[in-house]
Chain A
Amino acid sequence: MQHVRAHVLICAGTGCTASGAAKVEAALREELAKKGLDKEIMVVETGCHGFCEMGPLVIVYPEGTFYVRVQPEDVPELVESHLYKGRIVQRLLYKEPVTHESIPNYNELSFYKKQMRMVLANCGHINPEIIEEYIAVGGYEALGKALTTMTPEQVVDEMKKSGLRGRGGGGFPTGMKWDFTRKAAGDKKYVVCNADEGDPGAFMDRSVLEGDPHRVIEGMAVCGYAIGADEGYIYVRAEYPLAIKRLRIAIKQAEDLGLLGENIFGSGFNFRLKIKEGAGAFVCGEETALLASIEGKRGMPRPRPPFPAISGLWGKPTNINNVETFANVPQIITKGADWYAGIGTEKSKGTKVFALTGRINHTGLAEVPMGITMREIIFDIGGGIPGGKKFKAVQIGGPSGGCLPTELLDLPIDYDSLIQAGAMMGSGGLVVMDETTCMVDLAKFFLTFTQAESCGKCTPCREGTKRMLEILTRITEGEGKETDIALLESMAKNIKTSALCGLGQTAPNPVLSTLRYFRDEYEAHIKEKRCPAGACAKLAGYQITDACKGCGLCTKTCPVAAISGEIKSRHAIDQSVCIKCGACMTKCPFKAIIKG
């Protein structure tokens, strides 16, 4: 066997595949063969690094050089210069948005420096389609340890001690849930992995399944042992074909090696896994709807109790956890609960993966310890707001969550602090907004989503969200009434307390939290028929600010004579006359006219 001196890692996640990674890989293999380097250099397809916006990503080891936006045309130079002569191709390196510095090494990127990649440790660094690569970095040791040195009770205790809480949204203590299911009466039990991932903007579960599927499988198997289940289901939305493909390969490989199946590690424990593809309705992520969907029924929630731990799949005790929750399990078993509990805050342990989207320089996935502040996530890791714009708020927890304004940027983030601030961890989707985002419009956006996804089973959610949406729509169109804010608030409270499932119970959250922090914006829409962010098309107006020097240029420019004012004093626009042509704004030499 030839000694392999270099590894070229090509990201084959969904993001990089979309930007052409497969063509780059083909070009690379061809070029290496042409130069006779194909035996000494190994090309490795990996999963997502969470930096998809910069894809296709290529990393060259042993140096660890990080190349971004690599195109097939770049490949000959990459091979000749770096792989043949050992010279880094400067122009393909990542440049920091603020300092414009070229960063050659993965670990030195500001995007990765403040992260603590535990769940994502292997994503982007191993080939997810080769089980040996997972085993080489310590894979399946947790399962081996649990099955051969621990009793199921000890596994449950370890999980309890670790303080891990469910990453699917609610933050329920995982060890406690396992304990309920373990103690539930019945011989037949199930383990279910929730990979429905319905939040708009969230893609952490997909990345874990694509980049490190064995970690989830191992976590589920440990759970099966702990609760006494011999069968598990992974419920994945059909829109995730790559995740499904990698899972199928991973399950097959694990079966072939005897890591799934009968008598695993000679312990007498049997465990099998099946994949169930979901149609991708948001409500199917709710656990009771999800279980109904696996059973082949319509994905509709049912009242709880009974909880799935007592009566789940086909009426049997069922432990359901999120992808990221299961992905945390192997390291807790191998490194111990005490180690894990040392990371994070008093009541929220470990790390959380966040998906950064919206008005932020580095969109992507960031895994950080609990207790980090939003400022660190958005400015240190996310690189701040593009285009010199000002930060306004961040929506956390998707349509079930709420927003945090500038004043809360230094709040240490964990499950409880977010609830107190009127938001929610949710799945960890972060949508960053700058000064040009209208908060009423934002609330409308999320409510439109939940409204469309409501399954229609109960009235408060079905009808209530529709009414709230109508009110929000009329406010953004300048038709809002003085009583609308109070009406929104009382409807929100009613829906929250009377809806059947979490979808309805949380649907009003974006409205309540924007009302809490940006009430003045609602009032400006209603009373002054003005959108301060200048985002609502029907309300967009022009305003003259204090910067006005009274030069009079705008008066001459306005085609409908909407501007008046004494020379050398501040001018004003008569909004009832203004036709919003914007001519005055471009003319003003002092930038005194703004949209909003």
Chain B
Amino acid sequence: MKKRAFMLGMMTAATTVLGACGSEANEGAAAESGSTITITLMHRYQDSNIGKSPEDTAVLDGLKRFRADYPNVEVIEEQLQNEDYSIKAQALAAADDMPDVFIVPGSWMTNFVDNEIALPLNAELDKRTEWRDGYRAGTLDAGTREGQVYGIPIAAGPTHLIYYNADMFAEAGYSQFPATWQELMDAGGKLAEKGVNLFSYGDKSKGYAMSSWISALTDRISGPEWTESILTGGGAKFTDKGFVQAIGIMSDLAKAGYLNKDLNSVDSDTMVNYYFEGRSAAFVSGIWSAMNVVNNAPAEITDATRVAVFPGVDGGLGNPLSSSGGAGVYYSVNAGVQAGEKLDAIMTMLDYMTGSGSAKLMAEVGGFPAFDPGAFDTAKLHPVALAAYEASAAADATKIFDLWFDASIVEVINTGIQGVMAGSSTPEQLAQETQKAYETFLANP
């Protein structure tokens, strides 16, 4: 009996001590800062990437400037790596315990809006029209629901650009990137004779095909109206000619042996490495690969690299110069934040992190900001990065399917395209499966 009482006493004492530690620490933090406003921020930009990634560099620079200009605002920041962020944010969202400001990928937005996790920002943005109107056309779209803006975009990188080795194409007899698909297939044959793949391709982390290939290719053929019709349930089908033909083009490239054989089992890092090693003459990727080429490719590869987009398609309805793009991730504000001093500080902070100052810096170091930076200093930019920037600025941004289509449809395409590329199913089969998933989705939205 005595022992039991002793144990109970010990436990109570331990709990009290632990509890005291906790409250002390919290009070200490608040007292030291002496600030009037505290903002909690969780995002996927990290100090360790400053100078390596344009987005991290620009956003964190903006935050630093904000902290210097507003010493009365304390920003409690949590930096996480991309995938870690996804795991943690989903757990916190499920527990309804998101910080004041957080990152929302476009594909989560509907969920976050429906569950009232993100705050509508129109009223705040209307007070800051100059900032709001500075974003590139379409970049706010994936963060907007029923006319209300829920997310502030950061970067708007096109997800489809072709980085190609001009020397290799010159040796094969092409002074510029082939302008038709027929010419491209011919080039593929000539390169194959030399033992070089036309494109390296790496779809291990499913999603690459959709974001860098399918979105842009389908648009070349069917035009943006088809995509709109799919999104609004306006009668377009995945079994329509455009989608099937787009998948068919990809399948033909794989069948002809113009891509690396291990296309489904290597990730995009390896894909780019194949290009660096000279095993392929080109690769398809987003603007983010530009700085990778500049920083990590052997000098002769960097010097020979040029940037292009897919050739147009005969009778295609879309703009042959377009690229899939738009903002992929957004800053959202916690729905629990009330209008007033704090929200005001948050909006100012977001302006610092994504607005004109940050956008200029992002462009200067090789990124493609959602906010139009206007003229910026291109002196420090490598020709490859500049070419990628210019190709991006010239391209009409069409919708990236994985940001817009329902997750159930995205999953079917992501999985199915691997089968098609491996030769175990046909473009028609994939189109039918996708259509089936689409009809199920339409029936139970």
Partners in one complex: no
Binding site for B on A (CB under 8 A): none
